Amino acid sequence: MRRLATALTLVGGLLLGGASQAAQEPRFALVGACYCEADAELRCSPGLTERECRRRCEEDLCDRWFWLERRGCWNWGYGG
């Protein structure tokens, strides 16, 4: 009976708000390359999370944007 009461208390705590915001976020955030196209120019900012990329692109009024996780910016060239 005591185990049942303890289990019900734990389940009730989870259902009534035990899942905090910190528990819902990942333990580490992936960073990557953030590409923003504005005025027919493609720019890249390295080392941003997807959330930071989205925020930056909204502030810069990008026509379109995309984020590549765990990648650096590509310089579109070959070599040196």
pLDDT digits (tens, 9 = 90+) for 18-75: 455 555 556 788 999 999 999 989 999 999 999 999 999 999 999 999 999 999 898 7
Does 77 fall in a domain? no
* Domains identified in the chain, total number: 1
pLDDT of residue 80: 47
Does 24 fall in a domain? yes
Structure tokens at 13: 């705590």
Phi, psi for 25 (deg, rounded to 5):
-85, 150
Does 55 fall in a domain? yes
Q: What is the pTM of this model?
A: 0.61
Range of the domain at 29: 2-69
Neighbours of 79 (CB within 10 A): 3
Cβ atoms 34, 47 nearer than 8 A: no
pLDDT of residue 2: 75
Does 56 fall in a domain? yes
Does 78 fall in a domain? no
Taking the C-alpha atoms of residue 24 and residue 57, their distance in angstroms, rounded to an integer, is: 25
Does 76 fall in a domain? no
Does 48 fall in a domain? yes
